[in-house]
Amino acid sequence: MTQSHVIGVTLAGVLLGGTLGYVLETRGPVDPNPELERATVLFGQHTPVPPFELIDHRAQVFDESNLKSRWSLLFFGYTHCPDICPTTLSTVKGAIEVLNTPALDDLQVIFVSVDPERDSSSKLGRYITFFDPAFIGVTGEHERLERFTAALGAVYRIEQHNTEETNYAVDHSSRLLLINPAGQLHAVFAPPHESGVLAHELTIIAEAFGSA
């Protein structure tokens, strides 16, 4: 028996990033801030993250309540990823180290594994904490992941393989998604990612939100 998962949504506009695209519905204007080189702020169309339930790397429930009252930076990937995932997580770690604004003191970084067949909570924990002990890894059954990724406009595709196989590829978006303290999708960061640029643009966005 073989299996393959293609998960995502088809909306009005497609912003390509990585091996698969990030899909963004263009229902209104984006923030034209000239200081933002890589980020697209969903100006006036912030989308609330709907109820969901996944499991974190400590085998605890992780749901929409975990995305409230603080900024969250999300990235979708898998622990067997040979390049994009480790590079992006290292870049995010570098950005956090140079952040210098109280608005992001409690920023949480969340790595969502879209490969639950191989990424158990314990394995995800070993992987994500290698980059930073404060990083959070979450995953869940494909049915739950499908709802979650669709809600955020992200897509992933698992290479067709036999159920006994453990060596297969997963295509996934390489964009970073920023959730604001109200639990809404607030901005999308397009690759390529660079620590200094990411830190600078996170600061601009968070401080503007706080002063709104």
Residue 138: the pLDDT is: 98
| pLDDT given at position 103 | 94
Q: Which residues of 105-139 are buried (b: 16+ CB within 10 A; e: fewer)?
A: eebebbbbbbbbbbbbbebbbebbeebeeebbbbb
- In whole angstroms, give the CA distance from residue 179 to residue 193: 18
| Among 125, 121, 143, 145, residue whose Cα is nearest residue 134 | 125
Residue 18: its pLDDT value, please? 39
For residues 173 and 155, what is the distance between their CA atoms, to the nearest angstrom? 6
State the pLDDT at residue 163.
75
What integer pLDDT is reported at residue 160 of this predicted model?
A: 79
Query: What pLDDT is stored for residue 32 in this prediction?
Result: 52
CB neighbours of 103 closer than 8 A, spacing ≥ 6?
A: 71, 203, 206, 207, 209, 210
Q: Which amino acid type is present at position 170?
A: V
CATH topology of domain 2-211: Glutaredoxin (3.40.30)
Q: What is the pLDDT of residue 168?
A: 86
The confidence score (pLDDT) of residue 31 equals: 53
Residue-level pLDDT at 125? 97
Give the pLDDT of residue 8.
41
The domain ranges of the chain are 2-211
- Predicted local distance difference test score (pLDDT) of residue 65: 97
Taking 70 as the pLDDT cut, the residues of the chain under it are 1-34, 43-45, 164-165, 211-212
* pLDDT at 181 (0 to 100): 96
The answer to whether 7 touches 150, Cβ cutoff 8 Å, is yes
Count of C-beta atoms within a 10 Å radius of residue 147? 16
Report yes or no: 184 and 46 within 8 Å, Cβ to Cβ: yes
